[in-house]
């Protein structure tokens, strides 16, 4: 039982005007024996040039049987999705999700040989302060939340911080490879015991043969003309009941 309506131009109904370039209405009541039902199917000669909208609302670009609300299959060297946002102060991509278990964004790849799975580039020459990547957990009640969790089961390095500075255009500045700012506001009431840790390093090494385990390895090399100060670790303790630098 198939009912179809196709209108080219404007459609007027129920006291208001709805204007469509193309209006297509399909009401399918019995799909028994039907393999595929499409609201729109544009085929350019091969799968790479296919645009399909299925009757369940799933949209496929480059694929005729999408399994998600929007599925893009790309076999070319061009980006599969490109967003060009020239509006100042506007968000280029916003994802609003309400769930408690599933990842908001999931990137899964099984065959990388080189390059980066996730790559952020800030090539602006502006000297204003900003964050290339900002991760914020803003709810103080989420005491079990971790703002950034890095887990590595392969390779030899869990995280690498490579800070390179070319200060030929900077007259005076302080360059920091890693900065940790830990602020714990004094509660209004309560006597619970709390432990504040800026860096918690737990190194467990189990191996056969000769092994060298290093918790923190700091290599400071200064090469400059003029006055320069190199500091491997700079620890400042301010007022508290008990102060421990290390």
Look at strands 38-43 and 16-28 and give their pairing: unpaired
User: Under a CB-based contact definition with an 8 Å cutoff, are residues 29 and 1 in contact?
Assistant: yes
Write down the pLDDT at residue 4. Answer: 63
Do 72 and 80 contact (CB within 8 A), yes or no? yes
What is the arrangement of strands in the sheet containing 59-61, beginning at the earlier edge strand? 38-43, 50-54, 59-61, 70-72
Interatomic CA distance for residues 6 and 25, integer angstroms: 7
Q: Tokens for 86?
A: 């020239």
Cα torsion 180, 181, 186, 187: sign: negative
Q: How many angstroms separate the Cα of 208 from the Cα of each of 154, 205, 212? A: 18, 10, 11
Per-residue pLDDT, 177: 76
| Nearest of 42, 35, 75 to residue 60 by alpha carbon | 42
Instruction: Please report the pLDDT score of residue 70 as a whole number.
Output: 94
Report CA torsion sign: 190, 193, 199, 200.
Answer: negative
Which of helix, strand or coil describes residue 151?
coil
Structure tokens at 188: 């209004």
Query: What is d(CA 64, CA 38) in angstroms, rounded to the nearest whole number?
Result: 10
CA 91 from chain center: how many Å?
Answer: 14
| Closest to 222 in 3D by CA, of 161, 138, 165 | 165
pTM greater than 0.75 (yes/no)? no
Cα separation, 240 vs 183, whole angstroms: 12
CA pair distance 101, 81, nearest whole angstrom: 27
- Structural contact between residues 198 and 184, judged by C-beta atoms closer than 8 angstroms: no
pLDDT for residue 236: 75
Query: Of how many residues is the chain composed?
Result: 246
| Residues of the chain falling short of pLDDT 50 | none
In angstroms, the CA 23 to CA 9 distance is 8
């Amino acid at each position: 039982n198939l009912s179809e309506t196709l209108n080219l131009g404007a459609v007027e109904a129920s006291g208001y005007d709805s204007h469509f370039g193309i209006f297509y209405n399909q009401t399918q009541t019995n799909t028994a024996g039907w393999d595929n039902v499409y609201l729109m199917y544009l085929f350019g000669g091969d799968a790479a040039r296919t645009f399909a909208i299925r009757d369940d609302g799933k949209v496929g670009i480059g694929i005729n049987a999408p399994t998600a609300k929007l599925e893009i299959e790309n076999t070319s060297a061009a980006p599969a999705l490109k967003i060009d946002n020239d509006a100042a102060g506007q968000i280029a991509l916003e994802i609003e999700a309400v769930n408690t278990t599933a990842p908001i964004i999931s990137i899964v790849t099984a065959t990388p040989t080189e390059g980066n799975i996730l790559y952020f580039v800030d090539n602006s020459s502006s000297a204003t302060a900003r964050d290339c990547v900002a991760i914020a957990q803003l709810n103080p009640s989420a005491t079990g939340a971790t703002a950034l969790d890095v887990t590595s089961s392969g390779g030899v390095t869990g995280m690498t911080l490579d800070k390179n500075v070319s200060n030929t255009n900077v007259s005076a500045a302080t360059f920091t490879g890693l900065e940790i700012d830990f602020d714990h506001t004094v509660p209004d009431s309560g006597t619970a015991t709390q432990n504040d840790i800026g860096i918690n390093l737990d190194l467990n090494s189990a191996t056969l043969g000769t092994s060298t385990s290093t918790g923190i390895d700091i290599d400071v090399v200064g090469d400059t003309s003029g006055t320069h100060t190199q500091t491997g670790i700079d620890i400042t303790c301010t007022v508290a009941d008990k102060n421990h630098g290390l």
